[in-house]
Chains A and B, each alone.
With several copies, the nearest count.
Chain A
């Protein structure tokens, strides 16, 4: 295992501490239990947005804490959901009296730990709602599975619901927006290489030099299918097709599009994928209102990419354009 780390057990603590040192104007890091909070939290009268999940997906979620996005993020161990204590203490630290919204990626562990936290907080009189993100079209529906995984759509939910909360929307309203974004987002990802969880020390799966995995999640899980390596254009078609179909996108509609790197993919390659995606969407008469190309929700050093599309309307685009100032996403400020 080759990583820029000190001790395996300290990886998440030290990385979180480093982020706090790099962005003292934006975030404050709490160590025990571990959470990252907005430097100016609690913002009185504002709905507090809290997310979290396993680490190894950076900049998600800690990089999205700040004005116009999250009030707190709870980083678990690598690829392991956080524990209820983290969400409970984070919520107590950042809630501004207008309620708390949990943004939870749909994984059994995340769901159960956030559920426990919500139960504990409700018992203390803090109002908590939860919105699940479950946008991965590589997973069949919940009749046969634990339900679709939450992947790239999470970035959109955090940005857009964050803008609504920043603008002073009520808990009901922020929840409505978050659900709207979640329901209108779809993603699909692929891997050229596996990744190595520090505590395990060896790659989670092995791929031959001419193979790739299609339909992966963000935890180094093998995907739905292993196949021979294809060209970037073919891969983009394989990812974009199911996303567009599943969203039922029609000519004339608008989207916010993300081409996301899994952590070890050069930006150059992501732009090659974006080039093809733009072509596919244009051909179908779908307009890209806004886009992101880069590493936004990763799997450690995995090479690969994912495509996320959000069906957008004027409301969502307006909230998308609202100022955001976090370690990883910044505009209008």
Chain B
């Protein structure tokens, strides 16, 4: 089961993974965007870590703190998008202090809905949605088949990875990469990689015993 401790570990691990992949994310953005996705996400998540509420905070409190940090520190497209995602996840978590596997799935579903409302992208437009949507579907699918949360999150991560890979041959129709037309082909969408990292953090920290490398 997922409590505030796991959510906190998830947030820490996401921040850690973004920091580790900061240059890679920025390099991807340099190829088809404006060379700031890694810097943006890192700035936002570092701010989130500073603002995380202490003992007694609910999962929703923690997720909302991340949302507000991302909205008020990132700027760019990814700030409002991930910010809205965390805000919707917080709303879905409500006042619960522990989350069942189905709650976790609902939370990611709400996050995806937030991203799509804010950004108006569907899959195939070469954005983070291409990783996020299949990941949420895999998570729900696996849980529906009776798998444990750990296994389901692992499947979500793999789906996110595949989804991110699927952006490589695409032409973009949303975000900055859309300005490039055909020239965007052959490059991975940077936002789809940060989404992979989000699901990696989730798989490592929210999946119970399976989450071996849960945050420091």
A and B touch in the complex (CB under 8 A): yes
B75 lies within 8 A of A108 (CB): no
Instruction: Report yes or no: B35 in contact with A149, Cβ–Cβ below 8 A.
Output: no
Task: List chain B residues, Cβ under 8 A from A224.
Answer: 179-181, 183
**Contact indicator A80/B75 (Cβ below 8 Å):** yes
* CA A139 to CA B181, docked complex, whole Å: 8
Contacts A/B (CB < 8 Å), 14 sampled: A54-B34, A54-B76, A80-B34, A80-B74, A81-B75, A84-B71, A84-B80, A109-B78, A145-B178, A146-B173, A146-B176, A222-B180, A222-B183, A224-B180
Tell me if A197 and B76 are in contact (CB < 8 A): no
Report A143 CB to chain B, min CB distance, Å: 8
Residue B77 lies at the interface, judged by CB distance under 8 Å to chain A: yes
**Alpha-carbon distance A83/B118, docked complex (angstroms):** 15
Contact (Cβ within 8 A) A79 B179:
no
B98 at the interface (CB under 8 A from A): no
Q: Which residues of B contact A140 (CB under 8 A)?
A: 181
- What's the nearest-Cβ distance from chain A to residue B173, in Å? 6
For residue A304, CB closer than 8 A to chain B, the reply is: no
Q: Is A83 a contact partner of B73 (Cβ separation < 8 A)?
A: yes
State how many residues of chain A have any CB contact under 8 Å with chain B: 37
Find out whether the CB atom of B178 lies under 8 angstroms from the CB atom of A79: no
Which of B43, B73, B74, B119 has the largest count of A CB atoms less than 10 A from its CB? B74
User: Do B35 and A83 have beta carbons less than 8 Å apart?
Assistant: no
Of A109, A138, A200, A222, the most chain B CB neighbours within 10 A belong to A109
Within 8 Å of chain B (Cβ to Cβ): is A199? yes
Nearest CB of A to B147, in Å: 35
Which residues of A have CB within 8 Å of B78? 109
B59 in contact (CB, < 8 A): no
- A113 CB within 8 Å of chain B: yes
Partner of B33, one of A81, A145, A221: A221
CB distance from B71 to the nearest CB of A (A): 6
Distance from A152 Cβ to chain B, minimum over Cβ atoms (Å): 16
Chain B residues with CB below 8 A from A220, complex form: 34-35
Q: In the complex, are the beta carbons of A108 and B175 less than 8 A apart?
A: yes
B81 within 8 A of A: yes
> How many angstroms between the C-alpha atoms of A144 and B174 in the bound complex?
8
Does residue A219 face the partner (Cβ distance < 8 Å to B)?
yes
Q: Are A146 and B178 in contact (CB under 8 A)?
A: yes
Please judge, given known A-B contacts A197-B35, A220-B35, whether A109 and B76 are in contact too, CB under 8 Å.
yes
Asked whether B79 lies within 8 Å of A83 as measured between CB atoms, the reply is yes
Give B32-67 as 1s and 0s: 1 = Cβ < 8 Å from A's Cβ atoms. 111110011001000000000000000000000000
Task: Please encode chain B, from 71 to 92, with 1 for each CB lying within 8 Å of some chain A CB and 0 for all others.
Answer: 1111111111100000000000
Contact, CB under 8 Å: A76 / B34 = no
Q: For residue B22, which residue of chain A has the nearest CB?
A: A199
CB distance from A242 to the nearest CB of B (A): 14
- B44's nearest neighbour on chain A, judged by CB, is A83
Given the complex, which residues of B lie within 8 Å of A76, measured CB to CB? 75-76
Report if A139-B179 is in contact (Cβ < 8 Å); known contacts: A77-B36, A80-B76, A197-B35.
yes
Across the interface, do A113 and B35 meet the contact criterion of CB distance under 8 Å? no
Task: Give the dominant DSSP class at A's interface.
Answer: loop
B174 close to A79 (CB less than 8 A): no
Residue of A nearest to B80 (CB): A112
| CB-based closest 4 A-B pairs | A145-B178, A112-B80, A219-B34, A109-B77
Interface residues on B, range: 20 to 34
CB-nearest residue of chain A to B183 = A222
Contact yes or no, A112 B119, CB < 8 A? yes
Contacting residues of chain A (87-146) with chain B, CB-CB under 8 angstroms:
107-109, 112-113, 115-116, 138-140, 144-146
Nearest residue (CB) in A for B175 is: A108
- Contact between B176 and A77, CB atoms less than 8 A apart: no
A59 beta carbon closer than 8 Å to chain B: no
Instruction: Note all chain A residues with C-beta closer than 8 A to B32.
Output: 221-222
**Residues on B with beta carbons closer than 8 Å to the beta carbon of A145:** 172-173, 178-179
- Chain A CB within 10 Å, residue with most, of B75, B77, B81, B180: B75
Per-residue interface assignment for chain A, residues 206 to 238, with 1 indicating a CB less than 8 Å from any chain B CB and 0 otherwise: 000000000001011110100000000000000
Q: Once the chains bind, are A199 and B77 in contact (CB under 8 Å)?
A: no
The yes or no answer to B30 lying at the interface (CB within 8 A) is: yes
- Inter-chain contact B36/A83, CB cutoff 8 Å: no
Give every chain A residue within 8 A of B176 (Cβ-Cβ). Answer: 107-108, 146, 219, 221
| Residues in A whose Cβ lies below 8 Å from that of B178 | 139, 144-146
B26 at the interface (CB under 8 A from A): yes
Shortest distance between the CB of A115 and any CB in chain B (Å): 8
A44 at interface, CB cutoff 8 A: no
Question: Is the CB–CB distance between B183 and A83 below 8 Å?
Answer: no
Bound-state CA distance A20–B179 (Å) is: 35
Task: List residues of chain A with CB within 8 A of the CB of B174.
Answer: 108, 146
**Given A77-B43, A113-B80, A222-B180: A204 and B34 interface contact (C-beta under 8 Å):** yes
Most chain B CB inside 10 Å of its own CB: which residue of A33, A84, A145: A145
Cα–Cα distance between A262 and B34 once the two chains are bound (Å) = 16
Q: Are B79 and A109 in contact (CB under 8 A)?
A: yes
A271 at the interface (CB under 8 A from B): no
Which residues in chain B, 157-216, are within 8 Å of chain A measured between CB atoms?
171-176, 178-181, 183
